[in-house]
Chains A and B, each alone.
Chain A
Amino acid sequence: KNEVEQSPQNLTAQEGEFITINCSYSVGISALHWLQQHPGGGIVSLFMLSSGKKKHGRLIATINIQEKHSSLHITASHPRDSAVYICAVGFTSGSRLTFGEGTQLTVNP
């Protein structure tokens, strides 16, 4: 069983839809990261969370420490949001990350 589980694995949406990607982890963490990987392969760090909620443009990330669960929301989705979204956790400060399997998001025009 993976220590970090994401759902769904694949998600197809129409432009403008509200999107939610979920991430659950099994033990206490130091920080949780949401990453975006485009087809070319490069990875962009979207958020790093240890509590609460963060917002950047149309992206919102929340984390519930007690429930060991985080969500990434995209409002007013756009085809350029199509990418793989990866949840990663650090179990101790500054340490290696453990990655979820990723969610392939496709937003159709």
Chain B
Amino acid sequence: GAVVSQHPSRVICKSGTSVKIECRSLDFQATTMFWYRQFPKQSLMLMATSNEGSKATYEQGVEKDKFLINHASLTLSTLTVTSAHPEDSSFYICSANSMGQETQYFGPGTRLLVL
């Protein structure tokens, strides 16, 4: 099946710094990518939907200036957590699909710890 990778798999950073997470579709063109956040013992929560070449659509309550999403190509989307704070510590997961396709392919996730 199709493969989606994320980098890094885990990252520890100091409060106030910015962290960039990459999501890549390795063998298909991802017209849409979704970014999720998952807190311990909770389900995935959609943060934003990103279509290649256009601005991301953010879910209610998600600050677009804090979580910058760029989807400049059909194989790469990035999520930048700006001025990270300890409460941003979470597991971030991306998924991707191709135009008109139902199947979503999930990345392995990135665990962020902000000290």
Contact = CB atoms under 8 A, between A and B. Distances in A.
A96 B34 contact: yes
A30 B109 contact: no
| Size band of the interface chain A makes with B | 20 to 34
B43 interface: yes
A66 interface: no
Interface stretch (A57-65, A74-82, A97-105): A97-105
B46 interface: yes
A41 interface: yes
B89 interface: no
Contact of B99 (A90, A94, A96): A94
Given A33-B104, A97-B104, A99-B44, A43 B32 contact: no
Nearest to B48: A96
B85 interface: no
Interface string B35-76: 000100011101001000000000000000000000000000
Interface residues of B, number: 25
B81 to A, nearest CB: 17
B46 A86 contact: no
Most chain A CB neighbours (cut-off 10 Å) among B93, B103, B104, B107: B104
A46 B105 CA distance: 11
Nearest to A87: B43
A94 B97 contact: yes
Contacts of A43: 93, 95, 106, 108-109
Nearest to B45: A99
Given A94-B32, A96-B34, A41 B106 contact: no
10 contacts: A31-B102, A45-B1, A45-B103, A45-B104, A86-B43, A90-B102, A93-B102, A96-B34, A101-B42, A101-B43
Which 8 A-B pairs rank lowest in CB-CB distance, beginning with the nearest?
Answer: A42-B108, A43-B106, A31-B102, A41-B109, A99-B43, A99-B44, A101-B43, A41-B91
